[in-house]
């Protein structure tokens, strides 16, 4: 099971988090944002929420093929 | 029974009593089911799953494929319990498996007569006419292992999560050395051992370590580990790993259904899980009396059980001579040692032991193999032939044949996250090479079978693991030891046999896979090891290929004429150890599966006959028992009362999100289809959210309580989702803006007071200061004040079509307020009545907001027209949303007013009876109108007044319905605004 590091709470079990979606390409049309989402095997940029914790929304970059988490940071001014 | 008290490392002298297949046996405390039965002379412990051949115990560990018992009495049974692992308890009830009516006489074993037909793939190829499903039930009745439990007491299994620096799996020589080195270096060590005691092979291998007998060294090492605060978990089996989290089960006594589940996150992982001995395939190698050499040694040293009286040993390595020497010392007679190697293979130590054994009358044959064993129901003779000329066979009388074909390192645990293995010819097995970060094999699990090497390897791995975890202390020197010499093994997989004989050369005992099956698989074109596995079931079952996996791969390689390294073994996956679903669920079963949300009035509803049902995580009252025998009758009575006088309902489950700050108005404008920023302070508005793709997400009332402060209510089932939705936009697009989002759902209890007399009753119940506001409140306006010193908001809004008020009060005063409303003559109603009231008025229930309906479909065109640029607005303009085939929300009523119709019924036209043009989303019996009324989503092609067929063949049959206006009752809304 992958393990996420909440920017506020530190490493927590995966079940505390909820996956929302992969990030839309910034600047794309509303249609593309809904229906043309990228699904990359090696570098997936995703929105997660620490639902059962501090409820912060986070941006998570990870490699779905290895389970390696490359980056976690809080969302701020990102495209929804 | 057995008067002799056996002595073994695991035994006490105390006796106990148990039954096996209805017969009473005695054992000693510490015995396993297998050892006690063997000691009582029972050699047949089950039948095989397919051919129903009699089988005895083959191994002494979890790799045992034959002796699987059903423990307990129906329906509370544990099936497929591994007998050599099952610790006996007084009065234990054991049953053999795969037999009917008894182990000795089994009807299905007649199948053996036709076993020539029953090879792999037999069922799939034979039972295809007219359909497999016709044959499936009787075949399934014959198949399968054990009896599934019909009932089960759910133990409260606690799951313990913890982390450590170094996790060492396996407490044999290498594991103990690794744990000691890591702990000395300062790492927090957890040592996990499947057996109830530590030691592994050291339990019977005559070795000395650091100048002490091996058993004394184990005790000293464990004592030292205790002083170094290492945690030693015995009786704890590793199940597998997912992404750095290891699951281990504490199963004392070997019964499934763990007493504790550990989820461990180590920084480094040392796999010291030893090696599993494998058999050699020869004809009838499954006859009771055939046992693994190592198993015989374990039964002897742990439980004082002699595997037999007259033994023949069959092996391809040096260790057989050391083992034979120990068996002879224990009083067993070794008639012959059949070694497949020639004289050049023998090491000096083995040669000395061989000479000594020959001197005591043991026939030591080199370059020979056991071709077959014979006997009815158990081994009587072994047929032995020189490998150079298999025809020149002779036979030796014996009652037991001990076989050892070498050892396969237990690399399994390291493979779950993508480890790699390599074939090692000197072992005739695969050893791990490249492992994922922080995982390392050590000792026999790393292919090092000699004690001195295993100790050094373990200490090295432990030191590296400690360093990886950041512990930089002194690991001390690696322990030195000497035990049995190197095995000097020459791979040997199966004895010569003709084609008929191959059917009785068993590879995977648990699945009755023999050499002929592999040949059949190849003939059918299943060449790859993974395909052969699926075709033959090689490596399935509770032992997960521990026993037959490698042997099968090797024989497949032989049949394919390719080297074993190219054939490889099938992919290893968790679980390594059988695990019950119950253990994985832990405490999260039944009512504890999900958290339950209760309203402040929950206890009142329960105490007053409320029938509660879940809505998301909430529990809500469907109806009150005093109003009728079931939901239907009670709902009608409760709804009728609201229309005639009034009633109250607990609406505390409404999601309530407080949005505050200077930007709160524009923020809500972006989240809702209609504008929030135009709401006046003290007023509220019915508002609708869209999803990003334009579909309707949720609806609710938004209250503006101050210039910069709103409370947005959501539907009860959507509260958690809507909160996350709000928070997401707050943290993305609106990040840095002046807006806060706070969940106040549980800060406010909500009591809805509905009915023509609601104002009168409230004037009576609320304090005098509320009379004027109550009279002054217009539709969708609210007033804020206090009641009994606590905050109270009274909102005039209606979801019933009647004059109605929502009382948002603090939870602490909700029950007295509720009670005083009851005292004033208003009775509570539940969701069933609420649905009736809503559908009568054409308000959306929930099946209309199904994620597939646009605001246009739901006749919210006005909201869109006057709406603003919100989330999802842009995608509303897609042409497909405006095509005439889109559905629209309509009302429906039966043409014959007495007919009932249900939500879910499909609507068709007479000229297209097989194509639905819509469906009923919700329907209720309206006591006010004395007929069934409903809402439906119907293609725009059909105007109000059209008559459609309402098709519901499975439930109540068909009827004709007429499309009507959405609002069935009080279309002008006079009652609500009165």
B245 touches chain A (CB under 8 A): yes
User: Min CA distance, B697 vs chain A (Å)?
Assistant: 15
Q: Which of A60-74, B100-114, B222-236 has the highest mean pLDDT?
A: B222-236
The residue in chain B having the minimum alpha-carbon distance to the alpha carbon of residue A69 is B243
Interface test with B, best of A17, A77, A78, A79 (most B CBs within 10 A): A77
Q: Which CATH class is domain B655-745?
A: alpha beta
Q: Which residue is associated with the tokens 């009753």?
A: B761
Interface test with B, best of A15, A55, A74, A80 (most B CBs within 10 A): A80
Which pLDDT score, from 0 to 100, does residue B118 have? 67
The CA distance from B146 to B120, in Å, is 21
**pLDDT band at residue B578, thresholds of 50, 70 and 90?**
confident
CB contact under 8 A, A33 and B692: yes
DSSP alpha helix (H) spans, B600-747: 602-607, 631-644, 664-671, 719-731
pLDDT tens-place string over residues B253-276: 888 776 788 999 999 999 999 999
Average pLDDT over residues B707-727: 95
List of chain B residues whose C-beta atoms are within 8 Å of the C-beta of residue A62 = none
For residue B942, what are the CA distances in angstroms to A31, B376, B855, B932, B939?
31, 81, 18, 21, 6
Q: How far is CA A26 from the centre of its chain?
A: 15
Average pLDDT over residues B883-907: 93
Which has more pLDDT, B402 or A76?
A: B402
Question: Does a structural domain hold residue A51?
Answer: yes
Which has more pLDDT, B572 or B651?
A: B651
Whether pLDDT at B154 is above 60: no
Burial B192-230 (b: 16+ CB within 10 A, else e): bbbbebbbbbbbbbebebeeeebbebbeebbebbeebeb
CB contact under 8 A, A49 and B728: yes
Number of independent structural domains in chain A: 1
Average pLDDT over residues B509-522: 93
The CA distance from B643 to B625, in Å, is 20
- The string of DSSP letters for B210-262 reads TTEEHHHHHHHHHHHHHHTT-EEETTEEEEEEETTEEEEEE-GGG-SS-SEEE
CATH 3.20.20.210 is held by the domain B1-150: no
CB contact under 8 A, A30 and B729: no
User: Min CA distance, A71 vs chain B (Å)?
Assistant: 17
Here the ipTM equals 0.96
Q: For chain B, where do the domains classified as CATH 1.10.10 start and end?
A: 492-584
B692 touches chain A (CB under 8 A): yes
CB contact under 8 A, A77 and B732: yes
Whether pLDDT at B873 is above 60: yes
List of chain A residues whose C-beta atoms are within 8 Å of the C-beta of residue B878 = 31
Q: Which of A41-55, B149-163, B946-960 has the lowest mean pLDDT?
A: B149-163
Query: B472, exposed or middle or buried, with CB in 10 Å at 0-12, 13-18, 19+?
Result: exposed
User: Min CA distance, B184 vs chain A (Å)?
Assistant: 28
Whether pLDDT at A19 is above 50: yes
CB contact under 8 A, A80 and B733: yes
For residue A61, what are the CA distances in angstroms to B625, B661, B732, B921?
53, 32, 16, 41
The CA distance from B799 to B813, in Å, is 24
CB contact under 8 A, A79 and B875: no
CB contact under 8 A, B693 and A76: no
Question: Does a structural domain hold residue A3?
Answer: no
% residues pLDDT > 70 (chain B): 97
Q: Which of B149-163, B355-369, B704-718, B867-881 has the lowest mean pLDDT?
A: B149-163
CATH 3.30.1360.120 is held by the domain B749-825: yes
Which has more pLDDT, B487 or B418?
A: B487
Q: Please choose, from the candidates B96, B73, B74, the residue with its C-alpha nearest in 3D space to the C-alpha of residue B83.
A: B96
Which pLDDT score, from 0 to 100, does residue B2 have? 46
CB contact under 8 A, B728 and A31: no
Question: Does a structural domain hold residue A1?
Answer: no
Which pLDDT score, from 0 to 100, does residue B1 have? 43
List of chain A residues whose C-beta atoms are within 8 Å of the C-beta of residue B243 = 1-3, 67
The CA distance from B338 to B496, in Å, is 14
**Using an 8 Å Cβ cutoff, are B882 and B954 in contact?**
no
The residue in chain A having the minimum alpha-carbon distance to the alpha carbon of residue B878 is A31
pLDDT tens-place string over residues B742-770: 999 999 999 999 999 999 999 999 989 99
List of chain B residues whose C-beta atoms are within 8 Å of the C-beta of residue A78 = 732, 735
Question: Does a structural domain hold residue A57?
Answer: yes
List of chain B residues whose C-beta atoms are within 8 Å of the C-beta of residue A49 = 724, 727-728
Angle at B448 between CA B444 and CA B454, to 5 degrees: 75
List of chain B residues whose C-beta atoms are within 8 Å of the C-beta of residue A51 = 724
Which pLDDT score, from 0 to 100, does residue B507 have? 95
Which pLDDT score, from 0 to 100, does residue B38 have? 96
User: Min CA distance, B721 vs chain A (Å)?
Assistant: 10
Which pLDDT score, from 0 to 100, does residue B153 have? 64
Which pLDDT score, from 0 to 100, does residue B404 have? 97
User: Min CA distance, A33 vs chain B (Å)?
Assistant: 9
Topology (CATH level 3) of domain B492-584: Arc Repressor Mutant, subunit A (1.10.10)
The CA distance from B684 to B701, in Å, is 6
- The CATH number corresponding to B279-401 among 2.60.120.260, 3.20.20.70, 3.50.50.60, 3.40.50.80 equals 3.50.50.60
Cis peptide before B865 (omega within 30 of 0): no
**pLDDT band at residue B939, thresholds of 50, 70 and 90?**
very high
B693 touches chain A (CB under 8 A): yes
- B495: three-class secondary structure by DSSP: coil
* Of residues A18, A31, A75, nearest to B735 (C-beta): A75
Which pLDDT score, from 0 to 100, does residue B3 have? 58
- The interface residues of chain A toward chain B in range 19-48, judged by CB-CB distance below 8 A, are 20, 30-31, 33-35, 47
For residue A36, what are the CA distances in angstroms to B596, B769, B880?
38, 58, 18
The residue in chain B having the minimum alpha-carbon distance to the alpha carbon of residue A78 is B732
CB contact under 8 A, B727 and A57: yes
Whether pLDDT at B127 is above 90: no
Which has more pLDDT, B544 or B268?
A: B268
**Domain hosting residue A22, numbered range:** 12-74
Count of CB atoms situated within 10 Å of the CB of B103: 20
As a whole number, the mean pLDDT across chain B is: 91
Q: For chain B, where do the domains classified as CATH 2.40.30.110 start and end?
A: 883-978
Cross-strand partners of B334: B311
Cross-strand partners of B650: B751
SS3 content of chain B, % helix, strand, coil (to 5): 30, 30, 45
User: Min CA distance, B718 vs chain A (Å)?
Assistant: 15
The CA distance from B425 to B761, in Å, is 91
CB contact under 8 A, A34 and B693: yes
CB contact under 8 A, A20 and B728: yes
Q: Which residue is associated with the tokens 């699926």?
A: B534
List of chain B residues whose C-beta atoms are within 8 Å of the C-beta of residue A3 = 243-245, 265
The CA distance from B765 to B763, in Å, is 6
Angle subtended by helix axes B664-671 and B719-731, to nearest 10: 120
B242 touches chain A (CB under 8 A): yes
List of chain A residues whose C-beta atoms are within 8 Å of the C-beta of residue B724 = 18, 20, 49, 51, 55
B212-213 and B208-209 as β-strands: parallel, antiparallel, unpaired? antiparallel
pLDDT tens-place string over residues B403-432: 999 999 988 876 677 778 899 999 999 998
% residues pLDDT > 70 (chain A): 99
**pLDDT band at residue B867, thresholds of 50, 70 and 90?**
confident
Topology (CATH level 3) of domain B883-978: Elongation Factor Tu (Ef-tu); domain 3 (2.40.30)
B877 touches chain A (CB under 8 A): no
Which pLDDT score, from 0 to 100, does residue B116 have? 54
CB contact under 8 A, B731 and A13: no
* Of residues A1, A3, A57, nearest to B728 (C-beta): A57
List of chain B residues whose C-beta atoms are within 8 Å of the C-beta of residue A80 = 728-729, 732-733, 871
* Residue B508: half-sphere exposure toward Cβ, Cα within 13 Å: 31
List of chain A residues whose C-beta atoms are within 8 Å of the C-beta of residue B731 = 56-57, 74-76
Query: What is the domain-level CATH number for residue A16?
Result: 3.30.2270.10
Which pLDDT score, from 0 to 100, does residue A1 have? 64
The CA distance from A30 to B70, in Å, is 61
The CA distance from B457 to B154, in Å, is 43
CB contact under 8 A, B692 and A57: no
B528 touches chain A (CB under 8 A): no
Q: Which residue is associated with the tokens 């036709």?
A: B114
- H/E stretch holding B550 reads helix B549-560
Cis peptide before B809 (omega within 30 of 0): no
B881 touches chain A (CB under 8 A): no
CB contact under 8 A, B161 and A13: yes
A49 touches chain B (CB under 8 A): yes
Average pLDDT over residues B879-903: 92
pLDDT tens-place string over residues B629-674: 999 999 999 999 999 999 999 999 999 999 999 999 999 999 999 9
Query: B880, exposed or middle or buried, with CB in 10 Å at 0-12, 13-18, 19+?
Result: exposed
- B965: three-class secondary structure by DSSP: coil
CB contact under 8 A, B732 and A78: yes
* Of residues B245, B693, B735, nearest to A1 (C-beta): B245
CB contact under 8 A, B735 and A79: no
CB contact under 8 A, A18 and B244: no
């Amino acid at each position: 099971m992958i393990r996420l590091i909440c920017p506020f709470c530190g490493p927590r079990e995966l079940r505390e988090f909820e996956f929302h979606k992969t990030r839309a390409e910034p600047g794309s049309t509303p249609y593309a944002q809904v229906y043309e989402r990228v699904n990359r095997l090696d570098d997936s940029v995703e929105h997660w929420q620490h639902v059962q914790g501090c409820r912060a929304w986070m941006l998570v970059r990870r490699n779905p093929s290895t389970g390696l988490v490359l980056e976690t940071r809080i969302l701020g001014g990102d495209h929804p | 029974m057995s008067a002799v008290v056996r002595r073994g490392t695991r035994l006490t002298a105390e006796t106990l009593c148990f039954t096996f297949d209805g017969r009473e046996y005695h054992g000693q405390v510490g015995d396993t089911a297998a050892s006690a039965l063997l000691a009582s002379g029972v050699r047949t412990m089950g039948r095989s799953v397919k051919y129903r051949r009699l089988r005895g115990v083959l191994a002494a560990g979890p790799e045992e494929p034959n002796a699987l018992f059903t423990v307990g009495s129906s329906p509370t049974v544990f099936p497929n319990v591994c007998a050599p692992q099952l610790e006996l308890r007084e009065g234990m009830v054991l049953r053999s498996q795969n037999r009917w009516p008894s182990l000795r006489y089994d009807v299905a074993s007649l199948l053996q007569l036709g076993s020539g037909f029953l090879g792999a793939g037999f069922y799939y190829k034979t039972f295809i006419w007219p359909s497999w499903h016709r044959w499936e039930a009787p075949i399934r009745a014959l198949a399968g292992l054990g009896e599934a439990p019909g009932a089960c007491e759910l133990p409260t299994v606690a799951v313990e999560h913890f982390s450590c620096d170094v996790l060492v799996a396996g407490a044999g020589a290498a594991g103990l050395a690794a744990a000691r080195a890591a702990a000395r270096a300062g790492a927090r060590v957890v040592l996990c051992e499947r057996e109830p005691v530590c030691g592994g092979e050291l339990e019977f291998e005559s070795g000395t370590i650091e100048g002490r007998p091996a058993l004394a060294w184990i005790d000293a090492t464990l004592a030292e580990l205790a002083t170094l605060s290492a945690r030693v978990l015995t009786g704890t089996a590793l199940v597998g790993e997912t992404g750095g989290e290891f699951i281990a089960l504490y199963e004392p006594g070997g019964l499934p259904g763990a007493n504790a589940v550990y989820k461990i996150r180590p920084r480094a992982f040392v796999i010291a899980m030893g090696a599993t001995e494998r058999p050699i395939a020869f004809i009838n190698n499954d006859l009771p009396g055939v046992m693994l050499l190592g198993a015989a040694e374990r039964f002897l040293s742990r439980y004082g059980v002699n595997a037999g009286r007259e033994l023949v040993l069959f092996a391809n390595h040096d260790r057989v001579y050391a083992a034979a020497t120990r068996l002879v010392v224990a009083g067993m007679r070794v008639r012959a040692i059949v070694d497949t190697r020639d004289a050049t293979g023998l090491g000096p130590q083995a040669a000395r032991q061989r000479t000594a054994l020959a001197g005591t009358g043991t026939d030591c044959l080199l370059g020979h193999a056991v071709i077959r064993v014979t006997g009815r129901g158990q081994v009587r003779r072994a047929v032995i032939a020189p490998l150079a000329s298999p025809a020149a066979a002779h036979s030796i009388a014996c009652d037991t044949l001990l076989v050892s074909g070498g050892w396969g390192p237990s690399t399994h645990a390291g493979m779950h996250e993508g480890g790699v293995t390599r074939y090692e010819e000197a072992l005739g097995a695969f050893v791990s090479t490249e492992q994922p970060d922080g995982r390392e094999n050590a000792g026999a699990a790393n292919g090092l079978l000699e004690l001195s090497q295993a100790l050094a390897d373990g200490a090295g791995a432990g030191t590296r693991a400690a360093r990886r975890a950041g512990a930089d202390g002194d690991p001390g020197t690696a322990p030195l030891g000497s035990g049995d010499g190197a095995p000097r093994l020459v791979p040997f997989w199966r004895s010569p046999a003709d084609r008929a004989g191959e059917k009785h050369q068993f590879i995977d005992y648990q699945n009755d896979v023999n050499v002929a099956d592999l040949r059949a698989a190849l003939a059918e074109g299943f060449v790859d090891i993974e395909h052969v596995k699926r075709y033959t079931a090689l490596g399935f079952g509770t032992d997960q290929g521990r026993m037959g996996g490698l042997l099968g791969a090797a024989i497949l390689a032989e049949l394919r004429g390719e080297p074993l390294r190219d054939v490889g073994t099938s992919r290893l996956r968790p679980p390594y150890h059988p695990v019950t679903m119950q253990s994985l669920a832990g405490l999260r079963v039944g009512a504890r599966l999900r958290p339950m949300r209760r309203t402040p009035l929950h206890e009142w509803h329960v105490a007053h006959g409320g029938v509660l049902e879940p809505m998301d995580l909430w529990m809500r009252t469907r109806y009150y028992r005093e109003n009728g025998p079931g939901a239907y009758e009670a709902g009608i009575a409760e709804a009728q009362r609201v229309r005639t006088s009034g009633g109250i309902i607990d609406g505390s489950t409404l999601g309530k999100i407080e949005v505050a700050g200077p930007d709160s108005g524009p923020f809500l404008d972006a989240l809702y289809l209609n504008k929030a920023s135009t709401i006046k302070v003290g007023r509220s508005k019915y508002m609708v959210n869209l999803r990003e793709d334009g579909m309707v997400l949720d609806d609710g009332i938004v209250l503006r309580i101050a210039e910069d402060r709103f409370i947005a209510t959501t539907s009860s089932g959507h509260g958690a989702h809507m909160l996350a939705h709000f928070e997401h936009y707050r943290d993305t697009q609106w990040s840095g803006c002046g807006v806060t989002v706070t969940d106040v759902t549980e800060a406010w209890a909500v009591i809805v007071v509905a009915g023509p007399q609601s104002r009168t009753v409230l004037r009576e119940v609320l304090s005098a200061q509320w009379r004027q506001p109550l009279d002054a409140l217009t539709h969708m306006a609210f007033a804020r004040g206090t009641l009994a010193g606590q905050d109270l908001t009274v909102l005039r809004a209606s979801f019933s079509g009647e004059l109605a008020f929502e009382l948002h009060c603090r939870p602490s005063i909700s029950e007295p307020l509720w009670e005083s409303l009851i005292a004033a003559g208003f009775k509570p109603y539940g969701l069933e009545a609420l649905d009736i009231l809503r559908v009568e008025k054409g308000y959306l229930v929930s099946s209309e907001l199904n994620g597939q309906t646009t605001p246009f479909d739901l006749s919210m065109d006005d909201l869109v027209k006057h709406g603003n640029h919100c989330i999802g607005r842009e995608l509303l303009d897609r042409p497909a949303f405006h095509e005439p085939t889109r559905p629209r929300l309509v009302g429906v009523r039966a043409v014959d007013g007495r007919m009932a119709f249900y939500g879910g019924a499909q609507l068709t036209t007479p000229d297209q009876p097989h194509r639905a043009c819509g469906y009923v989303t919700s329907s209720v019996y309206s006591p006010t109108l004395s007929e069934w009324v409903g809402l439906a989503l119907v293609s725009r092609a059909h105007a109000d007044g059209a008559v459609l067929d309402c098709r519901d063949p499975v439930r109540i049959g068909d009827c004709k319905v007429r499309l009507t206006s959405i609002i069935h009752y009080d279309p002008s809304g006079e009652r609500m605004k009165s």
